């Protein structure tokens, strides 16, 4: 007999069509079977039923992070974190690297991530020479917090076959000093190519996936849209770690790579499969490219120059013709298409391709996506609406990087991740953390969507906030819509999969600024408890 849970006396945020808040819900096996009042749900009691009193705490649908990088995050967890409180200067970092080198066999990579030159005392990047002074027996890579820029030592350059005479790759720069010598700094595509040379064993990947999945479950994340990592071998590893239960979350896997995505895309489009293949556990998502740089780099591709640099329009990776050539056939063959597009010029480019694809090969319900859709000006939002496009914004970026946006993009910063504009235009935007670029804790993203507050307290575009319930919808049902799965998950309604999260309080009654502190009591995926913060499990 299948187990039946009757959850009563809670604040059940259903995210149904009427934004109803119910008292009770019944789960049987892996499905939600009824939602209603305590009285209605208690009528379903039988021998297999376990009655759980939620004590007025909030139950929400499982959270869906519509864009993060599970493999990158997991591998970061076993590397040095520059976001650690122990690292406040380059000196601190070099010491950490030395410790790591002493424990690492010669020849193996030493990796650090999350570096932000703006938040350490030196206000600059370390140099190749400083890293060489740590070790020349190991390759070292320090990746910037945005994941688009890094610094490496001589050994890394040797492995990648780069010397001072190597030309810059398209869409990237191998930084050199005035004498023409390598400084160690790699920007955009030069970084992506270096990053792709870092190899992980199958065991390292599985370990990384296990760590990341466990942490995601602790924050109530029950589904992820993986935004790619190390190409096809990474995709295979992720697929098998989903099947064998190492990754607990349901995965919608974008197809691409951090480096050389166009070849991965071409290969998969020609393979004869398309978006949607798979099951409730693991499904093939859209094909994905990178069109421009990062919002905090700052390297996004803009229509007008940067506010503090009239010569700077950022970085882009492809011409319009190249994007059309890759994506129009993908659309024709049934793929959902998407790209990392942060600047308004990059969003414009992707919309041009989507418009052409829909015009040349009309197809219903395409739900093409735009990852991030950073500077989403009103004219671009209108075009998204016309084409049925689903943007995947990152409101938590406003918290972590918002102060920098105001400096680099001026007034345009108020158009960034405009959740309120999407709501007004009735566009089902789905929120994502882009972890490891920002904290994956959904409460951080929800708070940022509701307040648009930067870490210093600056409010960026106060007319573009949304309500708490709307932000929860964007973190649940809209994420399910972005992967064509709104009929099976994303809300608490009879017939849907039992992906549920209990919070530690009545969230609608808490102070808005306390939301980042909200904790998860337990997380259920497919009717199974995958995380609980109490020894007693979820017993009443
Ligand atoms: Zn990303």
Assign 223 to helix, strand or coil: strand
pLDDT in the model for residue 296: 85
Q: What is the mean pLDDT of residues 448-474?
A: 97
Q: What is the mean pLDDT of residues 219-232?
A: 94
> Ligand 1 centroid to 434 CA: how many Å?
5
Tokens (6 digits) for 10: 């809670």
Q: What percent of the chain has pLDDT over 70?
A: 99
Distance CA 132, CA 142 (A): 13
pLDDT higher than 70, residue 540 = no
pLDDT in the model for residue 351: 98
**Bridge partners of residue 110, in order along the sequence:** 140
> Ligand 1 centroid to 69 CA: how many Å?
6
> Ligand 1 centroid to 20 CA: how many Å?
33
Sign of CA dihedral 469, 73, 290, 93: positive
CA distances from 537 to 105, 305, 533 (A): 42, 55, 8
> Ligand 1 centroid to 287 CA: how many Å?
13
Q: Which residues surround ligand 1, an ion (CB under 5 A)?
A: 227, 434
Q: What is the mean pLDDT of residues 488-516?
A: 98
Q: What confidence tens digit (pLDDT) does each residue in 115-174 have?
A: 999 989 999 999 999 999 999 999 999 999 888 899 999 999 999 999 999 999 988 999
- Confirm if 359 and 390 have CB atoms less than 8 A apart: no
Which DSSP category does 22 fall into?
E
> Ligand 1 centroid to 210 CA: how many Å?
20
> Ligand 1 centroid to 453 CA: how many Å?
22
> Ligand 1 centroid to 227 CA: how many Å?
6
Q: What confidence tens digit (pLDDT) does each residue in 26-68 have?
A: 999 999 999 999 999 999 999 889 999 999 999 999 999 999 9
Assign 418 to helix, strand or coil: coil
Does residue 298 have a cis peptide bond before it, meaning omega lies within 30 degrees of 0? yes
pLDDT in the model for residue 137: 96
Distance CA 339, CA 324 (A): 12
Distance CA 440, CA 73 (A): 10
Q: What is the mean pLDDT of residues 518-540?
A: 87
pLDDT in the model for residue 202: 85
Q: How far is CA 526 from the centre of its chain?
A: 22
> Ligand 1 centroid to 490 CA: how many Å?
22
Domain ranges of the chain: 4-62+496-532, 75-197, 269-482
> Ligand 1 centroid to 105 CA: how many Å?
31
Distance CA 342, CA 369 (A): 13
pLDDT higher than 90, residue 243 = yes
> Ligand 1 centroid to 253 CA: how many Å?
12
Q: Work out the pLDDT band at 201, boundaries 50, 70, 90.
A: confident
Tokens (6 digits) for 294: 């990062």
> Ligand 1 centroid to 21 CA: how many Å?
33
> Ligand 1 centroid to 294 CA: how many Å?
9
Distance CA 4, CA 2 (A): 6
pLDDT higher than 60, residue 478 = yes
Residue-averaged pLDDT of the chain: 95
> Ligand 1 centroid to 31 CA: how many Å?
31
Q: What confidence tens digit (pLDDT) does each residue in 248-280 have?
A: 999 999 999 887 899 999 999 999 999 999 999
Domain 4-62+496-532 architecture: Roll (2.30)
Q: What confidence tens digit (pLDDT) does each residue in 450-459 have?
A: 999 999 999 9
Of 171, 174, 170, 144, give the one whose Cα is nearest residue 156.
174
Domain 269-482 architecture: Alpha-Beta Barrel (3.20)
Q: What is the mean pLDDT of residues 407-417?
A: 95
> Ligand 1 centroid to 67 CA: how many Å?
6
CATH label, 75-197, candidates 3.10.310.70, 1.20.58.60, 3.30.70.1400, 3.40.1190.20 = 3.10.310.70
> Ligand 1 centroid to 62 CA: how many Å?
21
Q: Which residue do the tokens 């200067």 mark?
A: 89
């Amino acid at each position: 007999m299948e187990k039946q849970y009757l959850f009563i006396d809670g604040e059940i945020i259903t995210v149904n069509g009427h934004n109803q808040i119910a008292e009770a819900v019944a789960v049987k096996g892996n499905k939600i079977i009824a939602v209603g009042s305590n009285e209605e749900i208690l009528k379903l009691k039988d021998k297999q039923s376990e009655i759980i009193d939620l004590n007025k705490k909030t139950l929400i649908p499982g959270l869906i992070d519509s864009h993060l990088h599970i493999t990158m995050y997991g591998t970061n967890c076993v590397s040095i974190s520059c976001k650690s409180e122990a690292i406040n200067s380059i000196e601190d970092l070099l010491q950490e690297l030395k410790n790591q080198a002493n424990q690492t066999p010669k020849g193996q990579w030493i990796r650090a991530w999350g570096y932000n030159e703006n938040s350490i005392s030196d206000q600059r990047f370390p140099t190749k020479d400083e890293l060489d002074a740590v070790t020349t027996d190991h390759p070292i890579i320090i990746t910037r917090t945005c994941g688009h820029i890094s610094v490496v030592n001589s050994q890394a350059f040797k492995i990648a076959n780069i010397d001072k005479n190597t030309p810059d790759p398209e869409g990237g720069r191998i930084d050199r000093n005035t004498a023409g010598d390598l400084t160690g700094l790699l920007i955009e595509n030069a970084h992506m190519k270096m990053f792709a040379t870092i190899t992980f064993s199958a065991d390292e990947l599985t370990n990384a996936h296990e760590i990341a999945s466990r942490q995601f479950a602790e924050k109530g994340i029950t589904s992820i849209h993986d935004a790619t990592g190390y190409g096809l071998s990474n995709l295979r590893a992720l697929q098998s770690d989903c099947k064998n239960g190492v990754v607990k979350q349901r995965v919608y896997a974008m197809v691409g790579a951090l480096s050389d995505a166009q070849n991965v895309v071409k290969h998969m489009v020609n393979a004869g499969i398309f978006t949607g293949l798979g099951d409730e556990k693991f499904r093939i998502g859209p094909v994905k490219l990178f069109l421009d740089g990062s919002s905090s780099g700052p390297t996004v591709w803009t229509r007008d120059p940067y506010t503090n640099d009239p010569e700077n329009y950022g970085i882009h990776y492809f011409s319009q013709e190249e994007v059309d050539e890759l994506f129009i056939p993908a659309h024709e063959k049934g793929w959902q298409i998407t790209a990392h597009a942060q600047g308004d010029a990059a969003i414009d480019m992707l919309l041009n391709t989507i418009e052409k694809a829909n015009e040349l090969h009309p197809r219903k319900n395409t739900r093409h996506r735009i990852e991030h859709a950073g500077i989403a000006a009103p004219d671009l939002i209108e075009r998204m609406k016309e084409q049925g496009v689903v943007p995947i914004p990152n409101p938590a970026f406003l918290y972590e990087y918002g102060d920098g946006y105001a400096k680099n993009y001026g007034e345009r910063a108020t158009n960034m991740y405009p959740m309120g504009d999407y709501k007004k235009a009735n566009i089902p935007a789905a929120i994502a953390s882009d972890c490891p670029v920002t904290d994956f804790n959904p409460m951080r993203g929800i708070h940022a969507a509701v307040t648009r507050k930067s870490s210093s307290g600056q409010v960026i575009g106060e007319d573009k906030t949304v309500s708490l319930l709307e932000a929860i919808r964007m973190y649940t049902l809209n994420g399910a819509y972005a992967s064509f799965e709104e009929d099976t998950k994303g809300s608490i309604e009879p017939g849907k999969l039992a992906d549920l999260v209990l919070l530690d309080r009545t969230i609608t009654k808490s102070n808005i600024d306390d939301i980042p502190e909200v904790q998860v009591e337990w997380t259920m995926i497919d009717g199974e408890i995958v995380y609980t913060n109490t020894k007693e499990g979820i017993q009443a």
